[in-house]
Chains A and B, each alone.
Chain A
Amino acid sequence: MNCQTVQNQILGLPDPRELPAALREHVGGCAACQAWARKAARLESLLAQLPVPSAPRQKKEAMIGDLMQAEPVILPMATLATRPSFATVTGRFLRRNATYVGGLAAAVLVAIGIYWLWPSKGPEVVVAPPPQKHPLLEKMVARDTALARANTPTKKLETLDGMADDLASETRGMARIASAAELKQMTGWYEKVVKDGMVKQAGKLPLSMPAADKAKLLEPIAARLNSDATEAEKLSREVPPDAQPALKRMADTAREGEKSLRAMARGSN
């Protein structure tokens, strides 16, 4: 007899506190089954201690009354009314409204047939217009709007920096697909913003501006220009030869801008 059998039999006992001899032999030599028997015995004791609520007096009298009445004590069990199934309901509905349902089905079939057989011109081919939303143009309009509202050299400088960043990023993106002339034109825009915009605006920063504040403003912009220069130089080594001059020019513009801004940040210009 293994432990699982013994433990199942303990659970099946009417009172696990009194083990029969057959089980006691195994339990005496098995620690696990001993623990199991103890737990079962404890559970039995605890169940016996559970309070049982007393029945209301009227209930007892009513039950005695029921037993004493003339009718049979055992009454036929009440059965729940069965709910008709969906199929039954549907079937009943169809039988009752057979004429209408048949007519409706025939009408639907006729309509489908007419639709099917009606001469059609074939699917209309709608040609979507080519996209006209140009992200770079939208950015330039937004930058001009921001510049119109910028009322300090600092805000103007930051907006121009954003504009230069947009142009540099777009130029790099177009480096492999645009013609040399187009890249040259884009580099010209970048140059305009850096030289005529950023460097000039940095020069207009108020003299009263603390050197630390000036450096805090100009150094990150100079660092971004440095990044433009590095990326343009790197890209110029990867693009076709006719695209290289524009990128080199952009790198030179960025380096010059960086140099000017760093000089201003140090207060030497």
Chain B
Amino acid sequence: MARWAYLLIVFTLLAAWVSAQNPVPAQPQLSAEDKLRLLKANSTLIENLVNDGVAISSADTAVNRVEHCRNASRSLVNAIQQAATAEDAERVAVLTDLFRDFVREGLLPTLDDAKRDVPAESPDGKRLRDLRLKAAGDLNDLKKASSTGKLSDSQRVKDAIKQLDEVSEALK
């Protein structure tokens, strides 16, 4: 009996070892056709992000920087709305992930930094509150666009939207 147990263990270990020898499949390379298709689909968004990035780098005040960051996040929301209109669930999900990353890592910390530096009752303080409201509105626009038509049935989109809970909470 023990012999069979040993054999089973040995073969299990052998199978595990053989499996470990196979490298993790690499991310498939995009074909030339896909590269072109994605460039066409994203050229407006990339152009906006390049302009927004340069503007963020040139911003001379914390509030201006927030404003340009919000512009960048809005550029992403606009692209997501277009993808939602086309009922392209995969594109909506991919862009929503990018939006979440940018808001969480870029916009929210910038908002928090500015809030610390700018007096709440100053004109800049009021501008800052407006920008936060606008960013929250962008998020609502995104959620609304993603819950229409066929997209409301897409698990991929649902998962991406679910991931926004954290930034929704932070923007309140």
Residue numbers of A with Cβ under 8 A of B are: 129-138, 140-145, 147-150, 156, 159-160, 163, 167, 173-174, 177-178, 182, 185, 188-189, 192-193, 196-197, 200-201
Contacts and interface: CB of A to CB of B under 8 A. Distances in A.
Interface string B35-55: 111111111011101111110
B69 A131 contact: no
Contacts of A143: 49, 53
A149 B94 contact: no
Contacts of A147: 53, 56-57, 106
A133 B94 contact: yes
A131 B33 CA distance: 11
A196 B58 contact: yes
A198 B172 CA distance: 35
Judged by DSSP, the binding face of A is helix
Interface residues of B, number: 43
B33 to A, nearest CB: 9
Given A130-B37, A148-B110, A192 B51 contact: yes
B50 A193 contact: yes
Nearest to A188: B47
9 contacts: A129-B89, A129-B90, A137-B45, A138-B98, A140-B53, A145-B105, A163-B50, A182-B36, A189-B46
Nearest to A136: B46
Judged by DSSP, the binding face of B is helix
Residue from B37, B54, B58, B91 having most chain A Cβ neighbours under 10 A: B54
Interface in B87-135: 88-91, 93-94, 98, 101-102, 105-107, 109-110
A144 B39 contact: no
Residue from B53, B72, B102, B107 having most chain A Cβ neighbours under 10 A: B53
B38 A134 contact: yes
A249 B102 CA distance: 31
Residue from A140, A148, A149, A196 having most chain B Cβ neighbours under 10 A: A148
B106 A145 contact: yes
Contact of A148 (B32, B51, B58, B109): B109
B164 to A, nearest CB: 15
A173 to B, nearest CB: 8
Contact of B36 (A133, A142, A178): A178
Residue from B34, B39, B90, B110 having most chain A Cβ neighbours under 10 A: B39
Given A140-B49, A145-B101, 18 more contacts: A129-B90, A131-B28, A131-B30, A132-B91, A134-B39, A136-B38, A137-B49, A137-B98, A141-B101, A141-B102, A142-B101, A149-B109, A163-B50, A167-B50, A182-B36, A185-B43, A192-B54, A197-B57
